[in-house]
A and B are shown apart, each in its own frame.
Chain A
């Protein structure tokens, strides 16, 4: 433990993965049956991995907090999945997808991993079609594509506005096939509470059964975490309610390094916040930026009238509108990457041009597209999104501009992993949004689905096998070992402690407070003073939580308040690490915008000399400061430039 070894294979970029596969160790079929793999999380990454392991013949135990693997947060992805198929013949290639992803991530991702991602992207589309995923098609019967931010080609495959749903149902069907065959045993409504390490290797997990409260022990030869992102640190985000950071946080506290914890994506097109009872934010897919134009009033007095309700957006003539993305970034226009679009919206609203009752909203307008293409075309493309918007906001987006504002959406940070997706704990792998691996400081749209499925279908089946090759003589682990004993005892003690506080504040009230601190100081714009303040405020919140939180009921029952409390304990600590990482990184890159470091035009200003590295934080104990390790990023195959979308 403690060494950052990325294990990037030798050779030219385009041959690394092939070389790896050609030289890796394999496990023969009869030995596979004797090896157990635990997969925690059955979203895109986990379901794909568990199904593939099962097909290979390993013994798989899969776990999820949901009542069915079909409900994982991946289900909510709307817009699409990228691949370098170049079906539209518009100049795409594996290299271009790789290049766009590295550039979109503001040169803070590892070349070799990203290249592999681009390389297997095409296999993913083939795989999904073979599973019966009903992607959108053209009249000739071939697959259709759309464009997404940060790219000048159309490489995004989609299934109406429900791409994540269809891909997850595809992976779920593959998983179900294996469950039916008995190669995968599925445990639903299970919450990971602790990771079990034996002789320095990950060998098991402690789970809480969310129906009975029973604390269970499960052992294996290797453990995969595919538990999704931790955007809910902010309380309000586009993530599903149950999305959490607990599994990765438990791994961190057991010795896995945490990569780039502060790299958070704030998505530009979400429905604005409307009340303090609000429980989550709703994304309006980025695909809308294909046909929608973003604007605010050009004159502050118009904006004020709109905010007061004395003027409607439709009353404003073209000359009195400011299509600020088209104005600032003529080359990419409304399709600039998310971080750029989000900051531009914030800039306009902070300057007094925001709309909506709060002034924290901008317009996304379809009038021109409807005129150009007809309402039926817009309806066919975005019908379900428009309906969703109307249900929430009670306004008809075919008739008036939509209102949108940035919201927390995705965490690029996650467990640090090497080329094999192995964490710094041997035998512990991390996949999907739970790892830090491919998106650098900013993820491009439609690339998370690609990464989750790449990790699950096409990377882990090779790399986990490589790890297990020298484990064939290790017998299955018994769960009465002292390491399991201790892990279970610690877990139970935490639960007892939470239930016994019996204070006066609800769990949610702390979560909301944490969210506000994070949004104000560790959100879209960060600075030294604010981050220092945030760290202190979070530490105070933690003390208060452990004194005054009220968690009702007992362990041995369905107890959603206890579940939330366990997550908030981890969110609070994770929030502090995020602030610390943001404070340490004295540059702006991608979604990490430090106000002190910007160009005169307000664009992010990187410091490549001092910060071209992945920060990997090591837990040093509850009362000690974490230690920072650096994985230098070496760009051998592309030239590092200032991002330019003008």
Chain B
């Protein structure tokens, strides 16, 4: 298939960006979206032009490195998958495809389609862990965990940290990301001892880094490639409230 690509080009965070049009031809329906961009980049390199920078690594939907706003949607038109998992059969011959980076203040553009998502790491560093050291822990089967809880924790833990939720949200809120981590630990006995402290620290860090508020539009859930549920946000709000009450009593 032949396509026109309208791609956001921006030399660095300090430069102003703009859209540039490119043509690619003879693309197989079976090629992945990123392979299509590889083909474009090969051509640009041969011509002596600057290839388009984008983040990617695993190319199977698990590392969370790939991003891209494609035709106005994070990770493109298909539901429940990342950009790297999308194949060109989702597009029509002759189509113009608009490709932009995540646009959110806490994720500044580094170059072209690459953005800086270290804000997510900072939120985890603020409290997204169980404070155990290596060694000296009880036997793995010492505490039975109801399968239902373990499954819910796994649903939340499936988050790949790609940032689509933030990019999809008009307020650039990170509530889905943060609540997924808070929920995973809140649901497991291992995470309970620090549950209150954790949620407060992570939320404070999230606010400090400039992520917006949640106004319940649920665009995050709709665009999440791992279909993380907004029920996690409700759980986090409950955790947060209890934490506050407990703190007041103390």
Contacts and interface: CB of A to CB of B under 8 A. Distances in A.
A68 B117 contact: yes
A392 interface: yes
Contacts of B185: 132
Nearest to B144: A141
B128 A129 contact: no
A341 interface: no
A230 B131 CA distance: 34
A53 to B, nearest CB: 10
Nearest to A72: B63
B38 A508 contact: yes
A504 B46 CA distance: 7
Interface residues of B, number: 78
B32 interface: yes
Contacts of A242: 57
B243 interface: no
Contacts of A275: 28, 30-31
A633 B165 CA distance: 53
Contacts of A87: 141
Most chain B C-beta atoms within 10 Å of own C-beta, residue among A139, A165, A179, A388: A165
A141 B147 contact: yes
Interface stretch (B97-105, B150-158, B213-221): B150-158
B57 A71 contact: yes
A130 interface: yes
B135 A127 contact: yes
B207 interface: no
A275 B88 CA distance: 13
Contacts of B210: none
B130 A130 contact: yes
Contact of A180 (B125, B144, B150, B161): B125
A130 B147 contact: no
Interface in A280-321: 280, 282-283
B56 interface: yes
A179 B57 contact: no
Nearest to B59: A280
A174 B134 contact: yes
Main secondary structure of the interface of B (DSSP, over half): loop
A67 interface: yes
B140 interface: yes
A134 interface: yes
Interface stretch (A111-119, A537-545, A552-560): A552-560
A66 interface: yes
B154 A160 contact: yes
Nearest to B27: A277
Contact of A282 (B53, B56, B60, B89): B60
B134 A391 contact: no
A502 to B, nearest CB: 9
B46 A134 contact: no
A273 to B, nearest CB: 11
Contacts of A85: 140-141
B81 A391 contact: yes
B39 A277 contact: yes
Given A132-B130, A392-B87, A558-B111, 20 more contacts: A48-B134, A55-B134, A66-B65, A68-B118, A68-B161, A70-B64, A87-B141, A127-B134, A132-B184, A132-B188, A134-B188, A137-B145, A159-B154, A173-B124, A173-B130, A177-B129, A240-B63, A277-B38, A461-B134, A506-B42
12 contacts: A75-B64, A131-B190, A135-B140, A135-B150, A176-B121, A180-B127, A274-B30, A275-B30, A277-B31, A279-B34, A388-B61, A504-B46
